[in-house]
Structure 1
Amino acid sequence: MPHLPSTAPLYSPARVRELLTRHGLRPTKSLGQNFLIDGNILRAIAEAGGAAPGVPVLEVGPGLGVLTREIASRGAQVTALEKDERLKPVLAETLEGTDVNVVWGDALDFDYASLPSGTRVIANLPYYITGLLLSRFMRAPGIESATVLVQKEVGQRLAAKPGQDAYGFLSAIAALYGSVKHVRDVPKGAFLPAPDVTSSVVRLDFDRTRPQPDPAFLAFVEAALHHRRKTLRNNLRLIGHAADAIDAALEGAALRADVRAEDVPLERLHDIARTLGVVR
């Protein structure tokens, strides 16, 4: 099959289809492969993520290299993690002339602690491992921010505050590590193939001046928020705390006995954890 004229941008649906057909590829649903085909959104993600000359950028799941090339064109030093080795010839073609470092392997096996200080993650994340990857980014001291495409529902959970419907463990850990900003929603038609859900671009900024959250407190918060319809008291009893100790801790924090964890600010949860001897 002949190449399309070079005037067709890499993100155009015709160019994406031509690349896939010529290399005998189909997007793999199990790997969460939905390729971006909207130039305005590509530029908005790179801009919001802080891609700029000399900035170290990590991309997870470059796919056909469409977003990768946009980030690299802004002078960023890009490392891209890709699991699907069928994409080797495609990325060799689409990233030709750039100095992008493609690392082949599973993103869940990568050593994020090895990244240089000031690294920014900019990525269209595979939806099936979004939560796992975000927690790795949060814990990696060199990662300054993560600007990512996620399912809209995940974006809402990340940005939710105590008392809001979407608030849960993901909201809590995002707040413990830094702050979350909703950048924009992305319609299904911006991808090939179109996913089943609307997506959102969110930016997480990590405050590396804060001490890392105590793992015991993270486990406590996760348990407290585990069963959304149960009271905080019942959730804490499920992990072995005595009823009278919980009642005293709730009273000391000026909370009602039937309060739910998703309505309790993190500072109050920390007070309760301290009273129960979970943290110092």
Structure 2
Amino acid sequence: MTLPDPVPTTTDPAADTKEAPLYSPARVRELLNRHGLRPTKSLGQNFLIDGNILRAIAEAGGAQAGARILEVGPGLGVLTREIASRGAHVTALEKDERLRPALAETLAGLDVELIWGDALDFDYASLPEGTRVIANLPYYITGVLLSRFMHAPGIVSATVLVQKEVGQRLAARPGEDAYGFLSALAALHGSVRHVRDVPKGAFLPAPDVTSSVIRLDFDRSRPAPEAALLKFVEGALHHRRKTLRNNLRMIGHEGPAIDAALIAAGLRPDVRAEDVPLSKLEDVARRLGVVR
């Protein structure tokens, strides 16, 4: 009797790993090992390994056919692939030259332009109108990058992974515990929406904190806030639990002028800085001659 040929089986674990989705922990580890890489904490390298989170970020960020997307810190290209696979054109900024071979492999054949260099040195004002940012931001430069995005006229939105605490501060309103200068800065440029929280286990290696996906939409139809106003708001909210009057005195304004401005704006003399609506703060700034 002739026996049927045995069904072929895969005996090479590495071959199975290479067939796994790029975001799977096994695939990420295999790529790191094969290219002799180790995540660098100083560069904030925590790679996403949750497909549901990747899809949620790409969807919330507006990754679709024809969209122009800027990504900061593509890492192994996990999020980059998800964005590009939807038909978007991706410009990705990466500082770590060690990742060249891995990214050449993972992004082969995709509409991705890689720019090697420090994201802090990039000219964001050069980006074309309608650009959207989608990125897992390095935590140590989150605030600086968000400010750069806000001031870049071509960027219309930024959907970013940040520390949960930073996300709360971005989305906070006057009177809430997390409200401060970052909240006001975001509101001066547009609006903020909390998309979802992301547990530590969605990354490899796992960070020390929970993260959040936040989407900022920038209103480019209104004039950008003046530098003098931004400096005023920053000083007014520097000690947000102190009275606004005390904070304004600390940045050089005279008591009688402050009192007159507060009364004219309909504010109590003992109002705490964190409780003042942004429109009222702008009103006080005008009455003090900071802006017109």
Specify if TM > 0.5. yes
CA distance in 1: counterparts of 2:178 and 2:17, whole angstroms: 46
Deviating beyond 2 angstroms after TM superposition, the runs of 4 or more aligned structure 1 residues are 1-7
CA distance in 2, matches of 1:88, 1:4: 24
The amino acid that maps onto 2:203 is: F
1:81 to 77, 83, 93: 93
**Within 5 A, what are the aligned runs for 1:145-156?**
145-156=157-168
CA contact (8 A) 2:17 2:30 kept: no
2:141 paired with 1:129: yes
Q: How high is the TM-score relative to the length of structure 1?
A: 0.98
C-alpha separation in 2, matches of 1:85 and 1:28? 12
* Residue 140 (structure 1) aligns with: 152
1:200 aligned partner: 212
Q: Distance in 1 between matches of 2:149 and 2:127?
A: 10
Which residue, 128, 153, 178 being the options, matches 1:116?
128
**Which letter maps to 1:259?**
V
Correspondence 1:109-258 to 2 at 5 A: 109-258=121-270
Gaps of 5+ in 2: 1-12
C-alpha RMSD of matched pairs (Å) = 1.1
**Partners of 1:42 and 1:107 in 2: CA distance:** 22
In structure 1, the residue matched to 2:22 is: 10
Contact 1:4–1:15 (CA<8 Å) still a contact in 2? no
Q: Secondary structure at the match of 2:19?
A: coil
**Aligned match of 2:5:** none
Q: Which has the larger radius of gyration?
A: 2
Query: Could you tell me which residue of structure 1 aligns to residue 7 of structure 2?
Result: none
SS in 2 for 1:270: helix
Q: Which residue number corresponds to residue 63 of structure 1?
A: 75
Letter in 2 for 1:15: R
Query: By how many angstroms is 1:128 displaced?
Result: 0.6
**TM-superposition CA deviations, 1:136-161 (whole Å, max 9, x none):** 10111110110000011111111111
- Which letter does structure 1 place at the counterpart of 2:286? R
Residue 30 in structure 1 maps to residue 62 in structure 2: no
Q: Please tell me the residue identity of whatever aligns with 1:263.
A: D
Q: Hey, what's the Cα distance between the residues in 2 that align with 1:44 and 1:275?
A: 45
SS in structure 2 opposite 1:88? helix
Residue 114 of structure 1 and its aligned partner are, at CA, apart by 0.6
Q: Kindly state the Cα deviation for residue 251 of structure 1 after the two structures are TM-superposed.
A: 1.1
1:260 equivalent to 2:269? Answer: no
* 1:45 paired to 2:57: yes
Counterpart contact for 2:88–2:111, Cα < 8 Å: no
Determine the structure 2 residue equivalent to 1:96: 108
Distance 1:167 1:189 in 2: 28
Structure 1 pair 135–147 and aligned structure 2 pair: CA distance change class (3 A)? same
Aligned length: 280
CA distance in 1 between counterparts of 2:179 and 2:241 reads 12
- In the TM superposition, what is the alpha-carbon distance from 1:228 to its structure 2 partner? 2.3
Whole-Å separation in 2 of the counterparts to 1:72 and 1:103: 16
Distance 1:4 1:116 in 2: 41
The structural deviation recorded for 1:50 is 0.4
SS in 2 for 1:163: coil
Give the corresponding residue for 1:106. Answer: 118
What amino acid does structure 2 have at the position aligned with 1:207?
D
- TM-score, structure 2 as length reference: 0.94
Q: Report the Cα offset of residue 5 of structure 1.
A: 4.4
Counterpart secondary structure, 1:46? helix
> d(CA) in 1 for partners of 2:60 and 2:287?
41
